[in-house]
Amino acid sequence: MTYEQWRAARLNEITDKGKVVAKGTVSGPEPVLLPGVPGEWRVTEAGALTYEAKEVGGTIELPGGRHAFAGGADGFYGVVVMDEKALEQSGLQGIDTYPYDPAWVFEGEFRAAPADRHIEVEHLTAPRTTEAVRAPVDLAVTINGEEHVLAVIETMPGQRLVIFTDETNGSGTPDIGRWLVLPLLEPGSKLTVDFNQASLSHHHLVPEVFTCPLSPPGNHLPARVEAGERALMYDLKTKATTYLRHLENRAWSEAKAMCATDATVWHNDGKGDSSIGENIAGMEALVEPIESMRYDITRQFEQPGEVLQQHVVNVATKDGGLFRIDAAVYFRFEDGLITRIEEYASLAG
């Protein structure tokens, strides 16, 4: 599968997952209620699944235009409830990714783990819980000359995952880390490890439904893995925020890629308009003495094609200086790209 095919498949996957509003298991005669879904689910003495006392299976039509998918056997069933309107209401627009970088493709190896090994892994329930998860093999991969050994877990039969954290978490990527989905191979097998296919947890889509596992202890990479998925993009406010996060991380090409080629920028410094290329090149030329820069957004307003926000830019310089800039910024979008930025800024006293 090519990178482009993988991205298309991922978009289809999150489009489907974004329609899920509830899920659960039904395995006995006691009634089961799924959150937000009226009606009782049970399993009969004969092992059949029922909904509202009627035997059901496959696709089940529910009140309010929802439908459920049920599958299972031997008196144990999984039920997933979907609402076609949920995706539209969420405002989900796509997945923000780092640019493809072949330098983040490596050869790895599966190594045998102790027989029937299970690892205690925290899950994103509310409150959080810990569960012993099967971890049949380890993944060994060498990055920048250093070998890293990561535990591979099976959250369900046939699905192998490396859930890892790295130094982008909390800035370029979510705090909870990302996933690599791996093939079912025997210990000793070589495999391609492509961090360009690092994916976001389904937890970001519907947190109350997808209570996904976190990274096992030890699965941290002490580097900025600037490859793979970064964030789900929901609306123009999210896009404006993502643009600023690119500037924070000095990801100039990614920031420029979010803008139309003829986008213009205006500042209240009396210099008039500049092109987006000139503006980003000017920022790049000025960052050498800056240790870090963070945009703290205090409020945002959106209407079709426009975002207006207030934020504070906190800057730390390499010589120990600290200062902040108060700003109001206007973004205009066309076809999902930034076409105009106007910034009214003042240095706090």
**pLDDT computed for residue 52 by the predictor:** 92
pLDDT of residue 336: 65
Model confidence band, residue 98 (pLDDT cutoffs 50, 70, 90): very high
Per-residue pLDDT at 90 exceeds 80: no
pLDDT at 266 over 90: yes
Least confident of 87-96, 159-168, 176-185, 297-306: 87-96
Helix (H), strand (E), coil (C) string for the chain: CCHHHHHHHHHHHHHHHCCEEEEEEECCCCCECCCCCCCCEEECCCCCEEECCEECCEEEECHHHCEEEEEEECCEEEEEEECHHHHHHHCCCEEEECCCCHHHEEEEEEEECCCCCEEEEEECCCCCEEEEEEEEEEEEEEECCEEEEEEEEEEECCEEEEEEEECCECCCECCCCEEEEECCCCCCCEEEEEHHHCECCHHHCCCCCCCCECCCCCCEECCCCCCCEEEEECCHHHHHHHHHHHHHCCCHHHHHHCEEEEEEEEECCCCCEEEHHHHHHHHHHHCCCEEEEEEEEEEEEEECCEEEEEEEEEEEECCCCEEEEEEEEEEEEECCEEEEEEEEEEECC
Mean pLDDT of 136-158: 93
Say what the pLDDT of residue 334 is: 77
Average pLDDT over residues 205-211: 85
Confidence of residue 117 (pLDDT cuts 50, 70, 90): very high
Average pLDDT over residues 199-224: 91
**pLDDT value at residue 249:** 86
Mean of pLDDT over the chain: 90
Residue 96 has pLDDT above 60, yes or no: yes
For residue 221, what pLDDT band results from cuts at 50, 70 and 90?
very high
Fold category of 235-347 in CATH: Nuclear Transport Factor 2; Chain: A, (3.10.450)
Considering the chain, tell me which residue range(s) the CATH 3.10.450.50 domain(s) occupy. Answer: 235-347
Region 241-263: mean pLDDT is: 86
Taking 70 as the threshold, does the pLDDT of residue 104 lie above it? yes
Decide if pLDDT at 89 tops 70: no
pLDDT range class, residue 75, cuts 50, 70, 90: confident
